[in-house]
Amino acid sequence: MLERELSKKSYVPEPIALGVNTDAWQPAERDLRLTRRVIEVLSERNQPFAAITKSSLIERDIDLLAPMAARGQFMAAITITTLDAEIARTLEPRAATPSRRLRTIRTLSEAGIPVGVSIAPVIPFVTEPDMERVLEACAQAGASNASYIVLRLPWEVAPLFKDWLAAHFPDRADRVMSRVRDMRGGKDYDSSFSTRMKGEGLWADLLKQRFHNAVRRLGLNRRDRGILDMSHFRRIELSRAEEPARDNPQLDLF
C-alpha cells in the first residue's frame, strides 16, 4: 500500500511521521519486520520521514536509517518519561528501561542520526520534578533536540491512570489530579487543539519556562538542526504485476 501511494503521480512529497499513534518497533516487529520493510520502501524513494519510539529495536535498522540521515532524510526521537527506573517499571512495564533508551540515543547519535528526546507524559509530582535531569542526560548522550507533552487523560485513559496513581502513589494522588485540573481548565482533560499538549494556566506556564531554560542552557533545539530534505524524492512507477489485486476490477477504468 505504501509503495502504491508513493508511486501515484498525484502524490506530493511531504515529511512522514512514523510511530506517532503507536510504536513502530513493538516486540512483534522482531519477527514481522513490517517496519523495516516500510523503511526500505521510504529509503528506495528518498522519502524523508521522522520516527518516534520507546524501543531499542530501532538500532537494528541503523543500516537503513544512517544513510538516509546523511542525506538529510531522517531524524529520530526517543520518548523518555523519567530516569527513575522504579517509576518507569510501573508506568511502562513492557518498554525499554530509561538507561537503555539513553544508550539508544547515544547509538543513533554516534551513527550520525539527528536524535531528540520527547519527555512524555509529564506527570505533576511524579515525573515532572525529573524534567531537567532527563534533558541533561539526553543532551550528554547526544540528543540535539527536545520536546515535552503534559499528561493527557482522554476518554478511558482517565480511570486507568487514576487506578495506577492510587496503586503506586496514594500519598500524592489528590495533589496530582488537582494540578492536572489546574492545567486543564478545572477538568481532567481538555481536548482544545491549542492547549491539549502543554496545558494552560500558571502551572503550565511555569513548566514551559523550566523547559525552555533547560533547553537553552543545554544547547538543544538549535534552528540549524532538524530540517528534512525533500528535494531528492524518487517516484518509482509500479508495473501492473506489482500492483495489488483490487476487489472491484471496474476501478481499473480510472
Angular region, 226: left φ>0, alpha ψ -120 to 50, beta rest? left
For 17, the enclosing helix (H) or strand (E) is strand 16-18
Residue 94 or 212, more confident: 212
Q: What is the pLDDT of residues 121-131, one digit of tens each?
A: 999 999 999 99
Q: Is residue 121 reached through a cis peptide bond, with omega within 30 degrees of 0 on the bond before it?
A: yes
Q: What is the pLDDT of residues 72-128, one digit of tens each?
A: 999 999 999 999 999 999 999 989 999 999 999 999 999 999 999 999 999 999 999
Measure the CA–CA gap between 142 and 148, rounded to whole angstroms.
17
Number of H helices, E strands in the chain: 10, 5
Predicted TM-score (pTM) of this structure: 0.91
In this prediction, residue 232 carries a pLDDT of 94
C-alpha separations of 56 from 80, 97, 251 in Å: 12, 9, 42
Domain locations along the chain: 2-152+199-236
C-beta separation of 118 from 148 below 8 A: yes
Position 28 pLDDT exceeds 70: yes
- Kindly state the cell numbers that stand for 1: 500500500
CB-count burial class (<10 Å; 0-12, 13-18, 19+) for 180: buried
Q: What is the pLDDT of residues 140-156, one digit of tens each?
A: 999 999 999 999 999 99
- Kindly state the cell numbers that stand for 40: 526500505
Length of the chain in residues, anyone?
254
C-beta separation of 51 from 77 below 8 A: yes
Helix (H, G, I), strand (E, B) or coil at 132: helix
CATH class given for the domain over 2-152+199-236: alpha beta
Could you tell me the strand order of the sheet in which 16-18 lies?
16-18, 49-53, 74-79, 115-122, 145-150
Rounded to a whole number of angstroms, the CA Rg of the chain reads 21
